Structure 1
Amino acid sequence: MGVKDMKSVFLGLFTAVIALFAYLLLWPVPVAPASWDAPEDLGFTGIFTPNTDLADLSMIDLTPHHGAEDVVAMSDGRLLASTQDGYILLIDPAQETVDMLAETGGVPLGLEIDTTTGRLLVADAYRGLLSVGIDGSVEVLTDRVEGSPILYADDLDIADDGVIYFSDASTKFGAAASASTLDASLLEILEGVGTGRLLAYDPTSQETRIVAAGHVFANGVAMAPDGDVLMLETGRYRLLKIDPDTGDQSVLIDNLPGFPDNINHGPIVDGVGPTYFIGLASPRAAFLDGNSDKPWLRALAMRMPKAFQPKPQAYGVVFQIGADGTILRTWQDPNGAYPTTTGAVFVRSETLGDRIYITALQPTTLGYRPYP
Structure 2
Amino acid sequence: MVRIAEPPACPARIGGARPRARHNRGVAHPKPPLDPVVRRLPPPPPRAARRTGPDPFPPHRLVPLSGHAPEDVVVDANGRLLCGVDDGRILRIDPVTGAEETLATTGGRPLGLEVCPDHAVLVCDAYRGLLRLDPGTGALATVVDSVDGTPLRFCSNATIARDGTIWFTQSSTRHDLDRYIGAVLEHRGSGRLLRRDPDGTVHVVLDGLHFPNGVTLTEDETAVLFVETDGYRLTRVPVEAPDAPEVLLDNLPGMPDNVSRAHGGRLWIAMVTPRNRLLDRLGTTPPWLRKLLWRLPTRLLTMPGRTTWVLCVGEDGRILHDLQADDVDFHMVTGVAEHDGGVYLGSLDRSGILVLDPP
TM-score (norm 2): 0.84
The residue aligned with 1:36 is 39
The residue aligned with 1:100 is 102
Cα distance in 2 between the residues matched to 1:87 and 1:52:
35
AA at the equivalent of 2:109: V
AA at the equivalent of 2:263: P
Q: CA deviation at 1:240?
A: 1.3
The residue aligned with 1:194 is 189
Change (3 A) 1:131 1:57: same
Gaps of 5+ in 1: 1-27, 269-273, 349-353
What is the root-mean-square deviation of aligned Cα atoms in Å?
A: 2.3
CA offset digits 1:51-78 (Å, max 9, x no partner): 6855763011102x01112222222222
Structure 2 residue 343 is the aligned partner of structure 1 residue 363: no
The answer on whether the counterparts of 2:125 and 2:154 sit within 8 Å (CA) in structure 1 is yes
| Structure number with higher relative contact order (C-alpha < 8 Å, ≥ 6 residues apart) | 2
Structure 2 residue 292 is the aligned partner of structure 1 residue 289: no
Comparing both structures, which one devotes a greater share of its residues to helix? 1
The answer on whether the counterparts of 1:131 and 1:139 sit within 8 Å (CA) in structure 2 is yes
Q: CA deviation at 1:217?
A: 0.9
AA at the equivalent of 1:255: N
The residue aligned with 1:12 is none
Q: CA deviation at 1:335?
A: 3.7
AA at the equivalent of 1:287: L
Change (3 A) 1:46 1:159: farther
Cα distance in 2 between the residues matched to 1:75 and 1:246:
30
AA at the equivalent of 2:161: A
Change (3 A) 1:312 1:52: farther
Q: CA deviation at 1:286?
A: 2.2
Cα distance in 1 between the residues matched to 2:247 and 2:165:
23
Sequence identity percentage: 34
CA offset digits 1:89-147 (Å, max 9, x no partner): 010112111111110111111111111x3211111111111110121110001111122
Moved more, 68-77 or 52-61: 52-61
Cα distance in 1 between the residues matched to 2:223 and 2:201:
20
The answer on whether the counterparts of 1:29 and 1:303 sit within 8 Å (CA) in structure 2 is no
- Give the count of matched residue pairs: 325
Q: CA deviation at 1:325?
A: 0.3
Change (3 A) 1:96 1:226: closer
Change (3 A) 1:312 1:296: farther
The residue aligned with 1:211 is 205
Q: CA deviation at 1:226?
A: 5.4
Structure 2 residue 258 is the aligned partner of structure 1 residue 262: yes
The residue aligned with 1:7 is none
2:271 to 280, 302, 326: 280
Cα distance in 2 between the residues matched to 1:78 and 1:263:
19
The residue aligned with 1:326 is 318
The DSSP-based 3-state class of the residue aligned with 2:289 is helix
The answer on whether the counterparts of 1:82 and 1:109 sit within 8 Å (CA) in structure 2 is yes
Q: CA deviation at 1:307?
A: 6.2
Q: CA deviation at 1:39?
A: 1.6
CA offset digits 1:227-264 (Å, max 9, x no partner): 22111111111111123454332211011111110110
1:221 to 204, 215, 219: 215
CA offset digits 1:314-366 (Å, max 9, x no partner): 11110100010001111112246211101321011xxxxx0000111120011
TM-score (norm 1): 0.81
The residue aligned with 2:10 is none
Structure 2 residue 224 is the aligned partner of structure 1 residue 232: no
Which aligned pairs between 1:41-80 and structure 2 lie closer than 5 A?
Answer: 41-44=44-47, 50=53, 53-54=56-57, 57-63=60-66, 65-80=67-82
Cα distance in 2 between the residues matched to 1:161 and 1:55:
37
Larger radius of gyration: 1
The residue aligned with 2:5 is none
Cα distance in 1 between the residues matched to 2:228 and 2:74:
22
The residue aligned with 1:126 is 127
Structure 2 residue 173 is the aligned partner of structure 1 residue 171: yes
Q: CA deviation at 1:299?
A: 2.7
